[in-house]
A and B are shown apart, each in its own frame.
Chain A
Protein backbone atom coordinates (compact mmCIF):
# COMPACT_ATOMS: atom_id res chain seq x y z
CA UNK A 1 0.00 0.00 0.00
CA UNK A 2 1.69 3.25 -1.08
CA UNK A 3 1.85 5.96 1.56
CA UNK A 4 0.61 9.36 0.32
CA UNK A 5 2.71 12.35 1.41
CA UNK A 6 0.38 14.79 -0.35
CA UNK A 7 -3.33 14.13 -0.64
CA UNK A 8 -5.50 16.61 -2.53
CA UNK A 9 -9.26 16.24 -2.40
CA UNK A 10 -11.97 18.24 -4.17
CA UNK A 11 -9.73 21.25 -4.78
CA UNK A 12 -11.49 24.18 -6.49
CA UNK A 13 -10.09 27.57 -7.42
CA UNK A 14 -11.45 30.24 -9.74
CA UNK A 15 -10.31 33.71 -10.73
CA UNK A 16 -13.55 35.55 -11.40
CA UNK A 17 -15.41 33.54 -14.03
CA UNK A 18 -12.28 31.54 -14.87
CA UNK A 19 -12.72 28.18 -13.10
CA UNK A 20 -9.15 26.97 -13.08
CA UNK A 21 -9.46 23.99 -10.75
CA UNK A 22 -12.75 22.20 -10.35
CA UNK A 23 -12.90 19.42 -7.73
CA UNK A 24 -9.36 18.27 -8.42
CA UNK A 25 -8.15 15.09 -6.67
CA UNK A 26 -4.62 13.71 -6.57
CA UNK A 27 -2.19 11.92 -4.26
CA UNK A 28 1.59 11.94 -4.29
CA UNK A 29 3.10 8.76 -2.88
CA UNK A 30 6.30 8.60 -0.87
CA UNK A 31 9.40 8.29 -3.03
CA UNK A 32 7.72 8.64 -6.41
CA UNK A 33 8.17 11.13 -9.24
CA UNK A 34 4.66 12.20 -10.20
CA UNK A 35 4.30 14.35 -13.30
CA UNK A 36 1.30 16.65 -13.69
CA UNK A 37 0.70 17.14 -17.36
CA UNK A 38 -1.51 19.87 -18.76
CA UNK A 39 -1.74 22.54 -21.40
CA UNK A 40 -0.34 25.99 -20.84
CA UNK A 41 -2.82 27.96 -18.74
CA UNK A 42 -4.62 24.86 -17.49
CA UNK A 43 -3.85 25.66 -13.84
CA UNK A 44 -0.75 23.59 -13.11
CA UNK A 45 1.07 26.41 -11.35
CA UNK A 46 -2.08 27.35 -9.45
CA UNK A 47 -2.31 23.73 -8.28
CA UNK A 48 1.18 23.50 -6.81
CA UNK A 49 1.01 27.01 -5.39
CA UNK A 50 -2.09 25.91 -3.47
CA UNK A 51 -0.10 23.00 -2.01
CA UNK A 52 2.49 25.33 -0.50
CA UNK A 53 -0.06 27.91 0.66
CA UNK A 54 0.83 30.63 -1.85
CA UNK A 55 -2.69 30.61 -3.30
CA UNK A 56 -5.83 30.08 -1.24
CA UNK A 57 -8.35 27.78 -2.95
CA UNK A 58 -12.10 28.19 -2.42
CA UNK A 59 -12.85 24.58 -1.66
CA UNK A 60 -11.14 21.31 -0.93
CA UNK A 61 -8.51 19.76 1.30
CA UNK A 62 -4.77 19.49 0.88
CA UNK A 63 -3.04 17.16 3.31
CA UNK A 64 0.73 17.47 3.28
CA UNK A 65 2.58 15.01 5.52
CA UNK A 66 -0.70 14.46 7.36
CA UNK A 67 -1.58 18.13 7.95
CA UNK A 68 -4.26 20.13 6.15
CA UNK A 69 -2.27 23.12 4.91
CA UNK A 70 -5.40 25.22 4.41
CA UNK A 71 -6.11 25.36 8.13
CA UNK A 72 -2.58 25.83 9.49
CA UNK A 73 -1.35 28.90 11.33
CA UNK A 74 1.77 30.71 10.12
CA UNK A 75 4.21 28.79 12.32
CA UNK A 76 2.85 25.40 11.28
CA UNK A 77 2.77 26.48 7.65
CA UNK A 78 6.42 27.58 7.84
CA UNK A 79 7.25 24.13 9.22
CA UNK A 80 5.57 22.50 6.21
CA UNK A 81 7.47 24.87 3.93
CA UNK A 82 10.74 23.54 5.33
CA UNK A 83 9.70 19.98 4.43
CA UNK A 84 8.28 20.91 1.03
CA UNK A 85 10.53 22.76 -1.38
CA UNK A 86 9.41 24.60 -4.48
CA UNK A 87 11.38 25.11 -7.68
CA UNK A 88 9.87 28.13 -9.37
CA UNK A 89 9.37 28.23 -13.11
CA UNK A 90 11.24 31.55 -13.32
CA UNK A 91 13.83 30.33 -10.76
CA UNK A 92 13.06 33.24 -8.42
CA UNK A 93 16.73 33.82 -7.59
CA UNK A 94 17.13 37.09 -5.69
CA UNK A 95 18.75 39.48 -8.17
CA UNK A 96 20.28 41.67 -5.51
CA UNK A 97 22.08 38.80 -3.74
CA UNK A 98 25.05 36.62 -4.62
CA UNK A 99 24.63 32.88 -5.15
CA UNK A 100 25.85 32.32 -1.59
CA UNK A 101 23.35 34.78 -0.13
CA UNK A 102 20.60 33.23 -2.20
CA UNK A 103 21.34 29.82 -0.76
CA UNK A 104 21.75 31.14 2.77
CA UNK A 105 18.44 32.98 2.66
CA UNK A 106 16.15 30.02 3.50
CA UNK A 107 18.60 28.78 6.13
CA UNK A 108 18.78 32.09 7.94
CA UNK A 109 15.14 33.03 7.60
CA UNK A 110 13.69 29.78 8.91
CA UNK A 111 15.34 30.57 12.26
CA UNK A 112 17.39 27.41 12.70
CA UNK A 113 20.26 27.67 15.11
CA UNK A 114 23.20 27.19 12.78
CA UNK A 115 26.84 28.17 13.11
CA UNK A 116 28.59 30.01 10.30
CA UNK A 117 30.54 26.83 9.57
CA UNK A 118 27.39 24.73 9.30
CA UNK A 119 25.81 27.27 6.95
CA UNK A 120 28.92 27.29 4.79
CA UNK A 121 28.99 23.48 4.63
CA UNK A 122 25.33 23.30 3.69
CA UNK A 123 25.77 25.89 0.95
CA UNK A 124 28.75 24.02 -0.48
CA UNK A 125 26.99 20.66 -0.32
CA UNK A 126 23.96 22.06 -2.15
CA UNK A 127 26.20 23.59 -4.81
CA UNK A 128 28.15 20.34 -5.15
CA UNK A 129 24.90 18.51 -5.86
CA UNK A 130 24.37 20.68 -8.92
CA UNK A 131 28.07 20.90 -9.85
CA UNK A 132 28.39 24.68 -9.50
CA UNK A 133 30.68 25.25 -6.50
CA UNK A 134 32.70 27.82 -8.44
CA UNK A 135 29.76 30.20 -8.83
CA UNK A 136 29.35 30.78 -5.09
CA UNK A 137 30.36 34.43 -5.19
CA UNK A 138 28.73 35.31 -8.49
CA UNK A 139 25.54 37.27 -9.04
CA UNK A 140 22.56 35.50 -10.68
CA UNK A 141 22.76 37.91 -13.62
CA UNK A 142 26.22 36.54 -14.47
CA UNK A 143 24.90 33.00 -14.96
CA UNK A 144 23.39 31.28 -17.98
CA UNK A 145 19.78 30.07 -17.98
CA UNK A 146 20.74 26.50 -17.24
CA UNK A 147 23.10 27.51 -14.45
CA UNK A 148 20.40 29.66 -12.87
CA UNK A 149 18.04 26.72 -12.92
CA UNK A 150 20.65 24.60 -11.19
CA UNK A 151 21.32 27.27 -8.55
CA UNK A 152 17.58 27.53 -7.96
CA UNK A 153 17.53 23.76 -7.57
CA UNK A 154 20.43 23.94 -5.11
CA UNK A 155 18.48 26.50 -3.09
CA UNK A 156 15.45 24.22 -2.90
CA UNK A 157 17.69 21.35 -1.78
CA UNK A 158 19.45 23.22 0.96
CA UNK A 159 16.80 22.50 3.59
CA UNK A 160 16.88 18.74 2.78
CA UNK A 161 13.18 18.66 1.88
CA UNK A 162 11.09 15.50 1.92
CA UNK A 163 8.98 16.71 -0.99
CA UNK A 164 9.97 18.84 -3.97
CA UNK A 165 7.49 20.60 -6.24
CA UNK A 166 8.96 21.43 -9.64
CA UNK A 167 7.16 24.02 -11.77
CA UNK A 168 8.12 23.36 -15.40
CA UNK A 169 11.80 22.66 -14.66
CA UNK A 170 12.85 22.38 -18.31
CA UNK A 171 10.71 25.04 -19.96
CA UNK A 172 12.81 27.62 -21.76
CA UNK A 173 16.00 25.55 -21.68
CA UNK A 174 17.76 24.06 -24.69
CA UNK A 175 17.44 20.26 -25.18
CA UNK A 176 20.88 19.43 -23.78
CA UNK A 177 20.46 21.56 -20.68
CA UNK A 178 16.98 20.08 -20.23
CA UNK A 179 18.50 16.61 -20.13
CA UNK A 180 21.03 17.75 -17.52
CA UNK A 181 18.25 19.12 -15.32
CA UNK A 182 16.25 15.91 -15.74
CA UNK A 183 19.19 13.76 -14.71
CA UNK A 184 19.71 16.03 -11.70
CA UNK A 185 16.08 15.55 -10.70
CA UNK A 186 16.51 11.80 -10.92
CA UNK A 187 19.82 11.92 -9.05
CA UNK A 188 18.26 13.92 -6.24
CA UNK A 189 15.35 11.54 -5.90
CA UNK A 190 17.77 8.63 -5.59
CA UNK A 191 20.21 10.35 -3.23
CA UNK A 192 17.73 11.91 -0.79
CA UNK A 193 14.70 9.64 -1.32
CA UNK A 194 12.52 12.68 -1.99
CA UNK A 195 8.99 12.55 -3.32
CA UNK A 196 8.47 14.89 -6.25
CA UNK A 197 5.59 16.46 -8.08
CA UNK A 198 6.79 17.70 -11.43
CA UNK A 199 4.77 20.05 -13.59
CA UNK A 200 5.59 19.72 -17.24
CA UNK A 201 4.43 19.62 -20.79
CA UNK A 202 7.83 18.66 -22.19
CA UNK A 203 7.18 15.04 -23.19
CA UNK A 204 10.84 14.09 -23.38
CA UNK A 205 11.27 15.23 -19.79
CA UNK A 206 8.06 13.48 -18.76
CA UNK A 207 9.14 10.18 -20.23
CA UNK A 208 12.48 10.26 -18.40
CA UNK A 209 11.33 11.26 -14.93
CA UNK A 210 7.77 10.07 -14.46
CA UNK A 211 6.84 7.08 -12.34
CA UNK A 212 3.22 8.11 -12.78
CA UNK A 213 1.53 10.84 -14.83
CA UNK A 214 -1.61 12.77 -13.87
CA UNK A 215 -3.45 14.63 -16.61
CA UNK A 216 -4.89 18.01 -15.63
CA UNK A 217 -7.67 18.72 -18.10
CA UNK A 218 -10.61 21.11 -17.59
CA UNK A 219 -9.69 21.64 -13.94
CA UNK A 220 -9.90 17.96 -13.07
CA UNK A 221 -7.51 15.06 -12.74
CA UNK A 222 -8.71 13.56 -16.00
CA UNK A 223 -6.54 10.46 -16.01
CA UNK A 224 -3.64 8.97 -14.11
CA UNK A 225 -1.23 6.20 -15.03
CA UNK A 226 2.26 5.30 -16.20
CA UNK A 227 3.71 6.72 -19.40
CA UNK A 228 3.08 3.47 -21.25
CA UNK A 229 -0.50 3.18 -20.03
CA UNK A 230 -1.44 6.73 -20.99
CA UNK A 231 0.37 6.79 -24.31
CA UNK A 232 -1.59 3.66 -25.33
CA UNK A 233 -4.90 5.30 -24.40
CA UNK A 234 -7.48 5.59 -27.17
CA UNK A 235 -8.90 8.80 -25.62
CA UNK A 236 -8.21 11.74 -27.95
CA UNK A 237 -7.82 14.24 -25.07
CA UNK A 238 -5.00 12.14 -23.65
CA UNK A 239 -3.45 11.10 -26.93
CA UNK A 240 -2.85 14.65 -28.12
CA UNK A 241 -0.11 15.06 -25.50
CA UNK A 242 1.78 12.01 -26.67
CA UNK A 243 2.00 12.73 -30.39
Chain B
Protein backbone atom coordinates (compact mmCIF):
# COMPACT_ATOMS: atom_id res chain seq x y z
CA UNK B 1 0.00 0.00 0.00
CA UNK B 2 1.12 3.50 -0.78
CA UNK B 3 1.54 5.30 2.49
CA UNK B 4 2.61 8.91 2.51
CA UNK B 5 3.19 8.91 6.25
CA UNK B 6 5.95 6.29 6.09
CA UNK B 7 7.27 7.73 2.84
CA UNK B 8 7.86 11.09 4.47
CA UNK B 9 9.40 9.38 7.48
CA UNK B 10 11.83 7.37 5.32
CA UNK B 11 12.64 10.50 3.37
CA UNK B 12 13.46 12.48 6.53
CA UNK B 13 15.41 9.56 7.96
CA UNK B 14 17.40 9.27 4.80
CA UNK B 15 18.10 12.99 4.66
CA UNK B 16 19.43 12.78 8.21
CA UNK B 17 21.63 9.81 7.33
CA UNK B 18 23.06 11.51 4.26
CA UNK B 19 23.74 14.61 6.34
CA UNK B 20 25.63 12.53 8.91
CA UNK B 21 27.56 10.86 6.11
CA UNK B 22 28.51 14.30 4.79
CA UNK B 23 29.66 15.39 8.26
CA UNK B 24 31.87 12.32 8.38
CA UNK B 25 33.43 13.54 5.14
CA UNK B 26 34.48 16.75 6.87
CA UNK B 27 35.67 14.94 10.00
CA UNK B 28 37.78 12.35 8.23
CA UNK B 29 38.58 13.99 4.92
CA UNK B 30 40.98 16.58 6.23
CA UNK B 31 43.10 14.34 8.39
CA UNK B 32 45.98 12.24 7.04
CA UNK B 33 46.43 9.87 5.42
CA UNK B 34 45.56 11.69 2.20
CA UNK B 35 44.71 9.44 -0.74
CA UNK B 36 46.21 11.76 -3.34
CA UNK B 37 46.74 9.17 -6.10
CA UNK B 38 43.20 7.87 -5.92
CA UNK B 39 41.85 11.44 -5.77
CA UNK B 40 43.70 12.43 -8.94
CA UNK B 41 42.62 9.26 -10.68
CA UNK B 42 39.01 9.99 -9.76
CA UNK B 43 39.27 13.58 -11.02
CA UNK B 44 40.41 12.25 -14.35
CA UNK B 45 37.83 9.48 -14.54
CA UNK B 46 34.95 11.73 -13.48
CA UNK B 47 35.86 14.58 -15.79
CA UNK B 48 36.68 12.36 -18.71
CA UNK B 49 33.51 10.28 -18.39
CA UNK B 50 31.11 13.20 -18.34
CA UNK B 51 32.78 15.71 -20.65
CA UNK B 52 31.55 14.41 -24.07
CA UNK B 53 27.92 14.30 -23.00
CA UNK B 54 28.11 17.65 -21.24
CA UNK B 55 29.77 19.27 -24.26
CA UNK B 56 27.24 17.89 -26.72
CA UNK B 57 24.21 18.90 -24.66
CA UNK B 58 25.61 22.35 -23.92
CA UNK B 59 26.27 23.02 -27.58
CA UNK B 60 22.78 21.95 -28.63
CA UNK B 61 21.06 23.90 -25.85
CA UNK B 62 22.97 27.08 -26.72
CA UNK B 63 22.09 26.73 -30.38
CA UNK B 64 18.45 25.75 -29.90
CA UNK B 65 17.75 28.32 -27.21
CA UNK B 66 19.01 31.06 -29.48
CA UNK B 67 16.96 29.88 -32.45
CA UNK B 68 13.80 29.53 -30.38
CA UNK B 69 14.14 32.90 -28.69
CA UNK B 70 14.54 34.66 -32.00
CA UNK B 71 10.89 34.96 -33.19
CA UNK B 72 9.70 36.63 -29.97
CA UNK B 73 12.72 38.91 -29.86
CA UNK B 74 12.13 39.91 -33.45
CA UNK B 75 8.47 40.65 -32.59
CA UNK B 76 9.59 43.12 -29.95
CA UNK B 77 12.32 44.41 -32.23
CA UNK B 78 15.06 43.55 -29.74
CA UNK B 79 16.92 40.78 -31.57
CA UNK B 80 20.19 42.61 -30.95
CA UNK B 81 19.69 41.67 -27.29
CA UNK B 82 19.77 37.92 -27.99
CA UNK B 83 23.42 37.43 -26.98
CA UNK B 84 22.88 39.34 -23.74
CA UNK B 85 19.77 37.39 -22.87
CA UNK B 86 21.11 33.97 -23.76
CA UNK B 87 24.32 34.82 -21.88
CA UNK B 88 22.47 35.48 -18.64
CA UNK B 89 20.26 32.44 -19.02
CA UNK B 90 23.19 30.14 -19.66
CA UNK B 91 25.66 31.47 -17.13
CA UNK B 92 23.22 31.97 -14.28
CA UNK B 93 21.01 28.94 -14.63
CA UNK B 94 21.05 26.68 -17.65
CA UNK B 95 24.77 25.91 -17.68
CA UNK B 96 25.03 24.99 -13.99
CA UNK B 97 21.74 23.10 -13.65
CA UNK B 98 21.95 21.22 -16.94
CA UNK B 99 25.53 20.16 -16.36
CA UNK B 100 24.73 19.17 -12.79
CA UNK B 101 21.80 17.00 -13.85
CA UNK B 102 23.82 15.25 -16.52
CA UNK B 103 26.57 14.83 -13.97
CA UNK B 104 24.10 13.32 -11.51
CA UNK B 105 22.90 10.87 -14.16
CA UNK B 106 26.34 9.86 -15.29
CA UNK B 107 28.59 10.17 -12.23
CA UNK B 108 26.06 9.74 -9.42
CA UNK B 109 24.89 6.43 -10.85
CA UNK B 110 28.39 5.19 -11.60
CA UNK B 111 29.66 5.98 -8.09
CA UNK B 112 26.53 4.37 -6.61
CA UNK B 113 26.93 1.24 -8.72
CA UNK B 114 30.69 0.97 -8.23
CA UNK B 115 30.66 1.33 -4.44
CA UNK B 116 27.49 -0.76 -4.25
CA UNK B 117 29.09 -3.69 -5.99
CA UNK B 118 32.25 -3.24 -3.92
CA UNK B 119 30.08 -3.36 -0.82
CA UNK B 120 28.15 -6.52 -1.70
CA UNK B 121 31.22 -8.40 -2.88
CA UNK B 122 33.03 -7.45 0.35
CA UNK B 123 35.69 -5.38 -1.44
CA UNK B 124 35.13 -2.58 1.07
CA UNK B 125 35.75 -5.00 3.95
CA UNK B 126 38.82 -6.29 2.15
CA UNK B 127 40.23 -2.76 1.92
CA UNK B 128 39.64 -2.21 5.59
CA UNK B 129 41.64 -5.30 6.57
CA UNK B 130 44.42 -4.25 4.18
CA UNK B 131 45.42 -1.22 6.21
CA UNK B 132 43.18 1.16 4.30
CA UNK B 133 40.39 3.38 5.54
CA UNK B 134 37.75 2.70 2.87
CA UNK B 135 35.82 5.85 3.71
CA UNK B 136 38.87 7.95 2.89
CA UNK B 137 40.00 5.85 -0.03
CA UNK B 138 36.60 5.60 -1.72
CA UNK B 139 34.20 8.23 -0.40
CA UNK B 140 36.43 11.21 0.33
CA UNK B 141 38.31 10.95 -2.95
CA UNK B 142 35.17 10.60 -5.08
CA UNK B 143 33.17 13.30 -3.30
CA UNK B 144 36.04 15.75 -3.46
CA UNK B 145 36.72 14.95 -7.10
CA UNK B 146 33.03 15.42 -7.96
CA UNK B 147 33.00 18.70 -6.05
CA UNK B 148 35.95 20.06 -8.03
CA UNK B 149 35.19 18.57 -11.43
CA UNK B 150 31.60 19.80 -11.72
CA UNK B 151 32.53 23.53 -11.57
CA UNK B 152 35.21 22.84 -14.16
CA UNK B 153 32.68 21.14 -16.41
CA UNK B 154 30.20 23.98 -15.91
CA UNK B 155 32.75 26.55 -17.09
CA UNK B 156 33.43 24.44 -20.17
CA UNK B 157 29.70 23.87 -20.73
CA UNK B 158 28.98 27.61 -20.48
CA UNK B 159 31.66 28.36 -23.04
CA UNK B 160 30.43 25.67 -25.42
CA UNK B 161 26.79 26.70 -25.03
CA UNK B 162 27.70 30.31 -25.78
CA UNK B 163 29.58 29.15 -28.83
CA UNK B 164 26.45 27.27 -29.91
CA UNK B 165 24.47 30.43 -29.41
CA UNK B 166 26.99 32.40 -31.47
CA UNK B 167 26.45 29.97 -34.35
CA UNK B 168 22.68 30.23 -33.81
CA UNK B 169 22.80 34.00 -34.17
CA UNK B 170 24.91 33.71 -37.29
CA UNK B 171 22.37 31.54 -39.05
CA UNK B 172 20.20 34.62 -39.50
CA UNK B 173 22.57 37.56 -39.48
CA UNK B 174 26.33 37.90 -39.46
CA UNK B 175 27.76 38.87 -36.10
CA UNK B 176 31.45 38.65 -35.34
CA UNK B 177 32.70 36.36 -32.62
CA UNK B 178 34.23 39.30 -30.80
CA UNK B 179 31.08 41.38 -30.89
CA UNK B 180 28.93 38.46 -29.79
CA UNK B 181 31.02 37.89 -26.70
CA UNK B 182 31.29 41.61 -26.00
CA UNK B 183 27.48 41.74 -25.88
CA UNK B 184 27.37 38.71 -23.61
CA UNK B 185 29.92 40.02 -21.14
CA UNK B 186 28.73 43.62 -21.12
CA UNK B 187 25.48 42.35 -19.72
CA UNK B 188 27.02 40.03 -17.11
CA UNK B 189 27.88 41.41 -13.68
CA UNK B 190 29.92 39.65 -11.01
CA UNK B 191 26.69 39.21 -9.10
CA UNK B 192 25.48 37.00 -11.95
CA UNK B 193 28.61 34.96 -12.27
CA UNK B 194 29.91 34.43 -8.74
CA UNK B 195 26.82 32.86 -7.10
CA UNK B 196 26.25 30.70 -10.17
CA UNK B 197 29.83 29.46 -9.89
CA UNK B 198 29.76 28.89 -6.14
CA UNK B 199 26.61 26.81 -6.20
CA UNK B 200 28.18 24.34 -8.62
CA UNK B 201 30.60 23.22 -5.90
CA UNK B 202 27.60 22.30 -3.78
CA UNK B 203 25.95 20.51 -6.72
CA UNK B 204 29.11 18.48 -7.30
CA UNK B 205 29.52 17.63 -3.65
CA UNK B 206 25.86 16.56 -3.47
CA UNK B 207 26.30 14.17 -6.40
CA UNK B 208 29.51 12.69 -4.97
CA UNK B 209 28.31 12.25 -1.42
CA UNK B 210 24.86 10.88 -2.33
CA UNK B 211 26.32 8.38 -4.82
CA UNK B 212 28.89 7.30 -2.24
CA UNK B 213 26.29 7.02 0.50
CA UNK B 214 23.95 4.93 -1.64
CA UNK B 215 26.76 2.61 -2.69
CA UNK B 216 28.39 2.38 0.74
CA UNK B 217 25.13 1.24 2.33
CA UNK B 218 23.92 -0.83 -0.59
CA UNK B 219 21.68 -3.80 0.15
CA UNK B 220 22.93 -7.30 -0.60
CA UNK B 221 22.37 -8.74 -4.05
CA UNK B 222 22.43 -7.42 -7.57
CA UNK B 223 19.06 -5.64 -7.19
CA UNK B 224 20.65 -3.77 -4.30
CA UNK B 225 23.39 -2.46 -6.57
CA UNK B 226 20.92 -1.40 -9.26
CA UNK B 227 18.82 0.33 -6.65
CA UNK B 228 21.86 2.19 -5.32
CA UNK B 229 22.71 3.47 -8.78
CA UNK B 230 19.14 4.46 -9.49
CA UNK B 231 18.36 6.19 -6.23
CA UNK B 232 21.70 8.04 -6.35
CA UNK B 233 20.46 9.79 -9.46
CA UNK B 234 17.00 10.53 -8.08
CA UNK B 235 18.16 11.82 -4.71
CA UNK B 236 21.05 13.89 -6.02
CA UNK B 237 18.86 15.45 -8.75
CA UNK B 238 16.29 16.51 -6.16
CA UNK B 239 19.09 17.85 -3.96
CA UNK B 240 20.46 19.85 -6.87
CA UNK B 241 17.12 21.62 -7.33
CA UNK B 242 16.84 22.28 -3.60
CA UNK B 243 20.34 23.75 -3.49
CA UNK B 244 19.51 25.82 -6.57
CA UNK B 245 16.45 27.22 -4.83
CA UNK B 246 18.43 28.10 -1.73
CA UNK B 247 21.23 29.62 -3.83
CA UNK B 248 18.89 31.95 -5.66
CA UNK B 249 17.43 33.20 -2.36
CA UNK B 250 20.87 33.87 -0.97
CA UNK B 251 22.06 35.56 -4.16
CA UNK B 252 18.96 37.76 -4.04
CA UNK B 253 20.00 39.15 -0.68
CA UNK B 254 23.06 40.66 -2.33
CA UNK B 255 21.30 42.19 -5.33
Give A contacts to B, CB under 8 Å: 49, 52-54, 78, 81-82, 86, 88-96, 105-106, 109-111
Contacts and interface: CB of A to CB of B under 8 A. Distances in A.
Interface residues of B, number: 15
A190 B253 CA distance: 74
B129 interface: yes
Interface string B123-146: 101111111100000000000000
A91 B131 contact: no
7 contacts: A88-B126, A89-B122, A93-B123, A94-B123, A105-B132, A109-B130, A111-B131
A65 to B, nearest CB: 15
B122 A92 contact: yes
A54 B109 CA distance: 27
Given A49-B125, A92-B122, A95-B123, A110 B117 contact: no
A92 B122 CA distance: 5
Interface SS of A by simple majority: loop
Nearest to A102: B126
B132 A109 contact: yes
A129 B131 CA distance: 23
Contacts of A90: 120-122
B125 A54 contact: yes
B129 A86 contact: yes
Interface SS of B by simple majority: helix
A53 B126 CA distance: 12
A54 B128 CA distance: 8
A111 B133 CA distance: 13
Given A88-B125, A106-B130, 9 more contacts: A53-B129, A54-B128, A81-B129, A90-B121, A92-B123, A95-B117, A109-B131, A110-B130, A110-B131
A92 B125 contact: yes
A24 B108 CA distance: 42
Given A90-B121, A94-B123, A52 B129 contact: yes
B125 A81 contact: no
Contacts of B121: 88, 90-92, 95
Interface string B53-90: 00000000000000000000000000000000000000
Contact of A54 (B117, B129, B131): B129
Interface in B88-122: 114, 117-118, 120-122
**CB-based closest 8 A-B pairs:** A92-B126, A110-B131, A92-B122, A106-B130, A88-B122, A109-B131, A90-B121, A109-B132
Contacts of B130: 81, 105-106, 109-110
Quick one: which of B118, B127, B131 has the most chain A CB within 10 A? B131
Contacts of B126: 86, 88, 92, 94
Nearest to A93: B123
Nearest to B33: A111
Contacts of B127: 105, 109
A233 to B, nearest CB: 34
Nearest to B120: A90
A111 B131 CA distance: 8
Contacts of A49: 125
Nearest to A96: B114
Quick one: which of B118, B129, B130 has the most chain A CB within 10 A? B129
A164 to B, nearest CB: 12
Contacts of B123: 92-95
Nearest to A158: B130
Interface string B235-252: 000000000000000000
Nearest to B123: A92
Nearest to B41: A96
Nearest to B126: A92
A90 B131 CA distance: 20
Contact of A78 (B117, B122, B125, B131): B131
Nearest to A55: B125
B212 to A, nearest CB: 16
A96 B114 CA distance: 10
A105 to B, nearest CB: 6
A144 B123 CA distance: 18
